[in-house]
Every structure is written in C-alpha cells, then in structure tokens.
Chains A and B, each alone.
Chain A
C-alpha cells in the first residue's frame, strides 16, 4: 500500500521534473537565440536596432543574403522577415503588425498601402523589375510558344490569387490579352471556359511555383526570379512584356516605423551596395 503510493507520487514527480526540464531547456534556448544578434549589434555603430521587413514572396531567397550582408557591415539586425503575397502583407500591416520596410511586387499593392497611410510616400522607390514566365516541371515535354497555347495544355494551371498575389494579376492580364480572361485589369474577371476548370489559385507566387515543382500543376505563371529559387521547374515561355503591366517592385519605409532612418539606410544599401547588387543579379532581379 505504502510503497505503491510512493511510486505513484514518484511517477507524477518524474513527469513534473521532465516537464520542468524541458521548459527550462526551452528558456535557455530562446535566451541563447536572442542574445546572439544582440551581442553582434552591441559592437556596431547602431546597437540594438532591429528592422522588421515585409517583402514580396519572390524575394524569399535573395533577401536573407542581403540582410546578412547588411548585418555584417553595420550590425543592424533583422526580425524574422515576412515573405507573403504582397496583398497579404498590406492586410497584415492594416491588422497592426509592426513593420519598418515594405517591399511589394506591384505598384498597385504599394498604392493601397500608400492610400491607407501605411507607408511614407516620400521614401517610395521602384527597386526591381521582373519578367512573367510560364514554367513547367523540369524535363516535362509541354511546349508553349505563345500565350494561346495555354488553352491547349493538358493539366492544371497554377496562377496566383489575383487579389493577394501580383504575379496572378499580371498572369490574368497576359491571359486577357489573348482572350482567355475576361478583365483586362487582371482582377474580378472570369477565365475562359477552355481553361476555367484547370486553373488552380495559389496564395503566393512561391506556392504556384511549388505546385508545378511537385507535379500538382502542369504549368504555372511565376516570375523569372522564382525559377531560380525553386528546384525542379524550368521556363517554358516568357510572356511578352506588352501583354501585362510593367512588373516593378516598389519599396518604402513604413509610416509606423520607429527606425525610419535606419530603414531608409537599408533601402539605400539594397540599391547601391555592389555586393548586394551581385546577390540580386544572381537571383534574377533587375534593378529598376
């Protein structure tokens, strides 16, 4: 009786100790994670400044390299950068997320942010241009020589959701130029019956690329730069520049930023530092 009771208690105690140890380990871990950037920052000219960037999803691979370069050069650190569809980013800012810099993949989404006074209009600048391409899985035998060929493709077509994903809007504009989409604006229209049931909408341009890479979709509309950041896809066709609005990536400092000066410095660095330019070049972003 007695020894059973003890073992029951010790059983519970073991569990409690294990839980405590795990939580302690977790605290130790987070403090270690947190102190590393702080230590790096304290040796530099601007200690303690941490920038929060909201960047278009297509910048997901290139931006961290540029950030690392900047941290090395100045000591300014970066909070976990958010890479989502540009429309989502603007909504997230509207929702109250703290942001220092916003970089979107279309003038339209930046206009929305500007109208809502989320960004400082004076700091707005066009940063990159990009091309809209149709991709297929690597080694796929799908041949596309014109936009009209999209209608005869056997398989699903990945297109970004036009409201949140600028690439999807450009894609719809391109499709509208050959009559496969009903609205020239690329938003609010209907797909032609020939492709309507084949279109799969993606929440980010990266998702569209991933759908093609995994074989869920036969082709997808993405940027040239997405081809370089995802394995397993290749360019099947580059859409003519005149088939859609010019693809530019505007960047601006957020109106609510507490580090507006440092944020502007970083934008400047992105556009002028030669090492940063080499990274953009490697990932296929052409400076605007």
Chain B
C-alpha cells in the first residue's frame, strides 16, 4: 500500500522543469564551476594586492647602493638584549648578532652608532671619511632598520635629535657606558654594553651592580648585518602574482578543513540517527511526557552554544565530581577530537529532531493507522512509510544540521579547545588566524566555507529535486506502475481521508494480488 501524494515540496523542486537527466546535471556542473571561478577571482584580488606591497628587489634583510658599490646582507634587528654570561664569559648586557656580522648599528638615548669592521669596509671599498659614502651607508641602515622594525621605533625617526656616529673603532664610550661592538664569545658574536668605569679583571655585570648602573638602559636596540660589495648582494626578481598565490597556498595549514569535515560528517551521522529515532519515539508517547522530552531535546537550540560548552565542560571536566568520576573510569573527553564531535552533535541535534518531528506530525495519522490495520509493525511503518513520505523535510533538516555542525564555534571552543589538527575547525581557525594578524588566511577560510556550504546545499537540493521529480512521475518503487494510475486518477483536492478511503476501496477491489505484493516487501 503506497500513498504518493507529496505534502511538502521544496522550492527548488517546484521550479524544476522536467528534462533529460543529462542536461540537468550539466547545468548544475556549469553553475558550480561558475561559482568556483568567481570565488577564486575574489580570493586572488586581495592576495595580489597584499603581496604587491611587499615586493622588493633585494632579498629579505638585504639592500644595496649601486652608486657607492656597497650592500648589506643578513640584516637583523634585535629589540632586546640579555644580561647573561655567554659560555661563562661575562659580557655585560649583550645583544646577539647575526653570524659573522661586520656591521653593527646601536641606538642609544644619546647617539646612533654604526660600527663597520675595518677589513670588511676595505673589501667593500667603503671610505668612512667620504661624506657621500657615509651617508649612503647610513641610508642603507635606516632602510633595513625600518624593514625589520616590526613597528618599533626607527633609526630614521630618532636620528634627527641624536648624533649619528660611523666608526670602525671596536669600542666607544658615551656617558657612563662603554659599547663594545663585535665581541666574539662562545660560538657567536655579540654587541655588549658595559660600564665605562670598568677596571681591569672586573666583571661588567658585578661592576655595574656595584655602582648601581642599569646596563639594559644603556642601549635601545641593536641591528647587525654583513657589509659586502654591492655585487655580492643577491637580487631576486619580484615574484609574479601567480607565484605569490602559489607561495600563499603552499603556506596555508589545510588541517582545519579536514578536521571540520571529519567532525561534522561523524556528527551528522550521529545526529541523523539520533534525531530521527528521537522524533519517532517522541511522537508515540503521551502528551505530557512528549512535552517534557520535546523541551529537553530542543533546549540546545535555544541556549547559547557557550552555555552548552560550559555545561559539557562541567560534566566531563575534572573540576566536578561527575567529571572526576568519568575521568577515573577512563572517559577523558575534554579538549579531544571526540569533544569536538560531541559539541557538534549537541548543537545540531535539535535541528534534525525538530524538522523530523514536524514532518512526522504532518503525516496523516489515519494513513499510519491504516497501515497498522494491515498488520504492519511500528518499525516497518517508520522505515517504509514515515521516512519516505517525510523525506523532503528530513533532507532539509539534514542540511540544516550539517550546516550547524560545520559552523559550530562557541561550544567547540569551550569544550574541545583550539588544537591545530585536532579540534581546530574552520570557524575556530578563522577567529584565531584573524586574532593573530593573519587576515589573508582568515579570508581564505571564509571563502572556503562559503564555497563548501554552497556545494553541499546545492547537492542536497539537486538530490531532493531529483527524487521529487521521480516521485511526481510515478510510484516510489519499481514494479508499481499500476498504482500510479490509481493515484493519478484521484483529484488533488480530495484530501487524505477521502483518498485513503478511495484507495482502500480500490485496493480491496484489486484484491489478492495486491496483498500478496505487499507481503513480499
């Protein structure tokens, strides 16, 4: 016994012009491609714009002045030093330098000192006494200092009210500090700030402590680099937009996508089964119990996700007796991938449950009773009658539940945390990437989410439209062609009760082979 009248009909199905399957699939495919192309265009525009501002002729940390014939490579800026001995050698307050540094720029409250190793200057052909060459060197240092400043104060900014000293002397004393520019100690080279009044054999740190001098106040920051002839500065062509896109895409951590997909797929399976079963069982219960169950099942939808997360954390965390008991018995879920799945299930469950319940309730009770009079078991009614008839609504509920699981943020963050590759789903990645200043990566994920959601919804809609169309054409299963004739002859306005009576009548008239047919399924 089959009832082919369809009560709910999704929008996409109604506007669908029945045609050959091939053209429909081709159209959908073309649409997906078009969306992808548009999205890629949207993505690449800001990327290229972002990348363009960073394009430079020389490599990172390098600069050259071709006229004077000098260049700097391996430039690094150290914002802070350390008051620690190196290999038990007390240097005072020392800044690290890049390996084999031959140029040191030290900014202090009184002056800016640029030290150049005499041998390196000779090799690069730099004459410190020549004002033009001196200024060229200062300009190079200022340029690279700005590039690696990361927002700190610039040499260029403070040079105006300070003396700029270019020297090849290995140390220099200003005020109560002596600056030793390139001291080799351990395996590296350092720039050290020491007390000016340092006696022979005295340790700089103990001497400074004795005289109450704070060595870290002696300098603001320190730059180091290697001075080389201009011809030795590696010059890289500015990368093209495609290359920059390639670099960007190879630098993105794609794990949030897989985590999201895995989490929401597993959550969806659980939600689907639980939601349908809950809706089915709730339907059959007494109205008072039903009200209670309904509230419990629906409440995660009404509560803010953070409340769900907090409750889950209390339930499973070690700070509560329940959580402690669970942990003692081997159920340790907090901040694990399972926790992310549970969070997604909890928040997506009500959507599945409510849509399924709504769909089941809108089925004609008389229809179900008719099936019961024919001796169908409740399980069979559910599987063979309720599910197929309510399918369009259930499909819609599934899409909603999936979208909710995919977009889950607050509860997951609370209960599962933000562990890259484990619980960091795309929504969490977007938030944290933005917060840590990686706006372009956050933007990338935003576009991925939009595209992915679109494709999923499109697929489900196409599927529903397809099965819908199939239903409209006739019968829900093969070999029932003759029943189509029955249902098509029934006027649409008849109403279920009327239809059932008629169909029951016709079924009776069609008699035994019909009953035999039903028994087979």
Contacts and interface: CB of A to CB of B under 8 A. Distances in A.
Contact of A227 (B150, B313, B474): B150
Nearest to A99: B335
Interface string B478-521: 10010000000000000000000000000000000000000000
Interface string A1-12: 110110110011
B96 A281 contact: yes
Q: In the complex, which range does the number of interface residues on chain A fall in?
A: 35 or more
Given A23-B265, A96-B323, A274-B187, A213 B470 contact: no
B51 to A, nearest CB: 14
Contact of A283 (B79, B334, B420, B463): B79
A94 B466 CA distance: 52
Contact of A23 (B262, B313, B420, B436): B262
B151 A287 contact: no
B186 A274 contact: yes
A26 B261 contact: yes
B4 interface: no
A145 B421 CA distance: 45
Contacts of A29: 254-255, 258
Contacts of B434: 210
8 contacts: A1-B475, A4-B473, A80-B419, A82-B418, A206-B435, A234-B151, A274-B86, A278-B96
A190 interface: no
Contacts of A278: 78, 96, 188
A135 B152 CA distance: 10
B153 A235 contact: yes
Contacts of B418: 80, 82
Contacts of B153: 234-235
A277 B84 contact: yes
Contacts of A5: 470, 478
Contacts of B151: 135, 138, 227-228, 230-235
A33 B255 contact: yes
A175 B341 CA distance: 44
Interface string B111-150: 0000000000000000000000000000000000000001
Contact of A97 (B255, B262, B417, B436): B417
Contacts of A79: 419
B21 A7 contact: yes
Interface string A267-281: 000001010011011
B323 A224 contact: no
A215 B188 CA distance: 41
A213 B437 CA distance: 9
Contacts of A234: 151-153
Q: Which 9 A-B pairs have the closest CB atoms?
A: A284-B79, A278-B96, A96-B318, A228-B150, A80-B420, A281-B78, A286-B80, A26-B258, A287-B82
Given A29-B258, A210-B437, A80 B421 contact: yes
Contacts of A60: 436
A22 B261 CA distance: 9
Interface residues of B, number: 58
Nearest to A52: B419
A282 B422 contact: no
B248 interface: no
Nearest to A2: B478
A92 B335 contact: yes
B417 A82 contact: yes
A209 B436 CA distance: 9
A17 interface: no
Which residue, B79, B317, B335, has most C-beta atoms of chain A within 10 A? Answer: B79
Given A5-B470, A95-B313, 4 more contacts: A1-B474, A1-B475, A1-B478, A94-B319
Interface string A199-215: 00000101101100100
B355 interface: no
B341 to A, nearest CB: 14
Contact of B436 (A19, A206, A225, A280): A206
A5 B191 CA distance: 80
Nearest to B157: A234
A235 B152 contact: yes
Nearest to B335: A97
B317 A204 contact: no
A131 to B, nearest CB: 9
Contacts of B459: 15
B43 to A, nearest CB: 20
B80 A285 contact: yes
A97 B86 CA distance: 37
Among A30, A229, A230, A232, the most chain B Cβ lie within 10 Å of the Cβ of: A30
Nearest to A5: B478
B481 A281 contact: no
A158 to B, nearest CB: 13
A252 B165 CA distance: 44
B87 to A, nearest CB: 9
A281 B420 CA distance: 27
B400 interface: no
A98 interface: yes
Contacts of A229: 150, 437
A280 B80 contact: yes
Contacts of A82: 417-419
B95 interface: yes
B298 interface: no
Contacts of B80: 280-281, 284-286
Contacts of A2: 478
A272 B84 CA distance: 9
B424 interface: yes
B222 to A, nearest CB: 8
Interface string A73-113: 00000011011000000001011111000000000000000
A238 to B, nearest CB: 10
B81 interface: yes
A8 B467 contact: yes
Contact of A96 (B76, B82, B150, B335): B335
Contacts of B265: 19, 23
Most buried by B among A82, A98, A277: A277
A204 B334 contact: no
B167 interface: no
A122 B328 CA distance: 27
A283 B81 CA distance: 10
Contact of A282 (B79, B187, B424): B79
Q: Which of B82, B417, B470 gathers the greatest number of chain A CB atoms within 10 Å?
A: B82
Contacts of B44: none
Nearest to A204: B435
Nearest to B97: A278
Contacts of B65: none
B83 interface: yes
B319 A8 contact: no
B354 interface: no
Nearest to A285: B80
Given A33-B421, A281-B82, A1 B467 contact: no
Nearest to B332: A96
A29 B50 CA distance: 30
B226 interface: no
A230 B473 CA distance: 62
A227 B327 contact: no
B453 interface: no
